[in-house]
Structures are given as C-alpha cells and as structure tokens.
Amino acid sequence: EVQLVESGGGLVQPGGSLKLSCAASGFDFSASPMHWVRQASGKGLEWIGQIRIKTKNYATAYGTSMKGRFTISRDDSKNTAYLQMNSLKTEDTAVYYCARPKGFCLNDACYHWFLSWGQGTLVTVSS
C-alpha cells in the first residue's frame, strides 16, 4: 500500500524558515518524481513544485509564487522528499501535501496528475 506521511509543520513567524518532510513507502520511491501541493484553509489547491529522479539529475520545477523561496529536495536512501521554505509570509499559511504523480516525463517536461497524496501537514505563519 502506498503511504505518504508529511511532517515538520507548525507555527513560524513571518520571515522565518521551515523544512517539511514526506516519508514514502509502498512503492519504488527512487523511481518516482515527487510533488508538493498546498491548500490554504477553505481555499483551493496550489501547486508548489516537483523534483525528478536521479537519472534526471533531480531536476526541480516550481510554481510562479514559490520561486526563490521554496526548495524541493529528496533523499532516496531514506525514501523521503523535503520542502525547504524560507522568508515565509502570512499568506504561506496552509496545509502542505506531498503527492506521488502518475503520467510521464519526456525530455525536459513532465506531464503529471496526482495519484497518491499524504494527509498533509499544517504550516501557520503568524507573529
């Protein structure tokens, strides 16, 4: 059974940093790109970004409003993906999900929808 478990959320002050983890099991993690998606309370879904696999040099891509502040990484030896968030703003308050995609990648582009999701971890940015 595929399981994704996010952790690391909590309360952080504006301007602060936080690193989220996503522990994966039940599938070949090293062979799967991974994504992060967030959702503010009562709001819609917002794609944060993705990380590809080792043979694609762990290439990353990010949503427009996250570039430069958020960094996705992974440790295949630990079956874990990470989301480093810096310079946090109040509007970053949300539940953060990691997701295992389905679809394919071709050359430099990936075409993914999201097959499996974690339960999410809440990040609250407030003074």
Partner 1 sequence: DIVMTQSPDSLAVSLGERATINCKSSQSVLNRSNKENYLAWYQQKPGQPPKVLIYWSSTRESGVPDRFSGSGSGTDFTLTISSLQSEDVAVYYCQQYYTTPITFGQGTRLEI
Please give the residue ranges that form the binding site for partner 1 (CB under 8 A): 35, 44-47, 50, 61-64, 97, 102-103, 109-115, 117-120
Name which of 46 and 76 has its Cβ closer to partner 1: 46
- Give CA–CA dist 86/53, Å, rounded: 24
Q: What is the DSSP string of 19-53?
A: EEEEEEESS-GGGS-EEEEEE-TTS-EEEEEEE--
Tokens of 47: 């794609």
Q: Which of 5, 1, 20 is nearest to 123 (CA)?
A: 20
How near is the Cβ of 47 to partner 1 at its closest, in Å? 4
Name which of 78 and 102 has its Cβ closer to partner 1: 102
Determine the length of the chain.
Answer: 127
68 in helix, strand or coil?
Answer: coil
Name which of 69 and 112 has its Cβ closer to partner 1: 112
Name which of 42 and 77 has its Cβ closer to partner 1: 42
How near is the Cβ of 115 to partner 1 at its closest, in Å? 6
* Residue 99 contacts residue 34 (beta carbons within 8 Å): yes
How near is the Cβ of 31 to partner 1 at its closest, in Å? 19
How near is the Cβ of 105 to partner 1 at its closest, in Å? 11
